[in-house]
A = this chain, B = another copy of it.
Amino acid sequence: MKHLIPLLSLLLFSPGIFAELLGTGDLGVVIEREPAAIQIVNTTYKNALSRISDLGDLSHASVVFSRDARYAFIFGRDGGLTKIDLLENKVAKRIIQAGNSIGGAISQDGRLIAVSNYTPGGVKVFSTETLELIADIPALYGDQQLSKVVGLVDAPNQKFIFSLFDAGEIWVADLKEPARPQIQKFKNIGKQPYDALLSPDGRYYIAGLFGDRGLALLDLWSPEQGVKRILPDYGKNDEKMPVYKMPHLEGWAMAGNLMFVPAVGQHEVLVVNQNTWQLIKRIPVIGQPVFVMARPDGRHIWVNFAFPDNAQVQIIDTKNLQIIQSLTPGKAVLHMEFTPRGEHVWVSARDDNQVIVYDTSSFKEIARLPANKPSGIFFSSRAHKMGL
């Protein structure tokens, strides 16, 4: 019988051998700011599975998922890049890759993680398998200066696209040969691009300009046409109203051929025709919009707001462009994430230490989960989407 003991020990202490078999299609990550941690959550049972701590500074942290939806990659504000194993509820690997970072993306083929950094300014590309550095793209401009990098997204054909805040440039990096990125640079796109988004089909890259009016638009199907300025009245706030928070651009919503954009510093959501890039309507809302997000079927747009209106959420019907519902989930609503097919939405209320789950059809609250100063919420179905 002796031989059984080492075998049994092996079984008992092999990492993960007693981890429960789970499909990973209904998992997600909730970022907790204080104390900094993440919760792994399940969207079918609407519960938390585990909490993982000691992940550094998670203010403004964002998350992408491996193509098998088993691993989450957390981009910390302090340059930390952490690979979480959602099945074994543990850190698979963690590195400090820069001094100050602002977000990241995963390549179309799932093999590469790119991180955009403020300090030192540039993009670093890592292996998703090992987190080893594969490529370093310093954001050089002018007289050997380094620019902060923002608005990093993945795009079709194994590309990453990002904006240089200090240089006023958009770069398209082709990573088909991962160690030898091919960079196409678009210069003079406008002053101080501060964030950007990719349309859900991967065709349009649009950057917001902190130091200019309008938005910078790159049509990736026609890069030879260069970057154009659209919505010339948009942005740079010279009104009397203070801007409490620059809106997040990743949250811009495309529904059919309409795009819904948070107005900077205004109590308005702008509706833009995506065929002509013309403003077709301004919808008055309760406060300065931060995230403007389409339900997956495009029928409703959910909007949250900057201080002092950040206890509220408003919902716009995209058929008649009217507000049809206002909700008060809790204090300091920071983020919203729809379940993949849109039947529910999870909303974080930081100052109430709660995540609230709504039925998107009836607008009824159906669950409430405790969380410590929750901010971003990210579901594993993002693994299968471009530009996030």
Q: CA of A256 to CA of B250 in the docked complex: distance in angstroms?
A: 20
Instruction: Tell whether A384 is near chain B: CB-to-CB under 8 Å.
Output: yes
Q: Tell whether, in the assembled complex, residue B157 and residue A25 are in contact, meaning their CB atoms are under 8 Å apart.
A: no
Q: Which single member of B43, B343, B385 contacts A341 (CB below 8 Å)?
A: B385
Bound together, the chains give a CA A25 to CA B64 distance in angstroms of 13
Complex contact B66–A23 (CB within 8 A): yes
Within A59-77, the residues touching B (CB, 8 Å) are 65-71
- A110-143 interface (Cβ within 8 A of B): 110
Query: Is A7 on the interface with B (CB-CB < 8 A)?
Result: yes
Q: CA–CA, A1 to B1, complex, Å?
A: 7
Bitwise interface map of A from 282 to 322 toward B, beta carbon under 8 Å scored 1, else 0 = 00000000000000111100000000000000000001000
Q: At the interface, yes or no: A241 with Cβ under 8 Å from chain B?
A: no
Measured between beta carbons, the chain B residues less than 8 angstroms from A156 are 297, 299, 341-342, 361
A44 at interface, CB cutoff 8 A: yes
Tell me the bound Cα distance from A44 to B110 in angstroms.
8
Given contacts A21-B19, A25-B383, A66-B23, contact A361 B4 (CB under 8 A): no
A68 to B68, CA, bound (A): 12
Q: Across the interface, which residues of B come within 8 angstroms of A298, CB to CB?
A: 201-203
Q: What CA separation (Å) do A21 and B1 show in the bound complex?
A: 29
Contact call A341/B108, Cβ cutoff below 8 A: yes
Q: Answer whether residue A242 sits at the interface, using C-beta atoms and an 8 A cutoff.
A: no
- Complex CA gap A110/B297 in Å reads 16
CB atoms of A26 and B67 under 8 A apart: yes
A24 at interface, CB cutoff 8 A: yes
CA distance A27 to B24 in the complex (A): 11
List B contacts of A70 (CB < 8 A).
Answer: 21-23, 25
A261 to chain B, nearest CB (A): 19
Is the pair A68, B25 in contact by a Cβ cutoff of 8 Å? yes
- Does chain B have a CB within 8 A of A237? no
Contact A380 B201 (CB under 8 A): no
- A367 interface contact, C-beta 8 A: no
Q: Which residues of the partner chain B approach A342 to less than 8 Å between Cβ atoms? A: 108, 156, 386
B11, B25, B66, B257: the one contacting A275 at CB < 8 Å is: B257
| 29 CB < 8 A contacts A-B | A1-B5, A4-B8, A8-B11, A17-B17, A21-B21, A21-B88, A23-B66, A23-B68, A25-B67, A27-B68, A67-B340, A67-B341, A108-B342, A108-B343, A156-B341, A157-B361, A176-B361, A201-B255, A201-B256, A201-B297, A201-B298, A202-B298, A203-B298, A221-B319, A222-B319, A340-B383, A340-B385, A341-B385, A384-B384
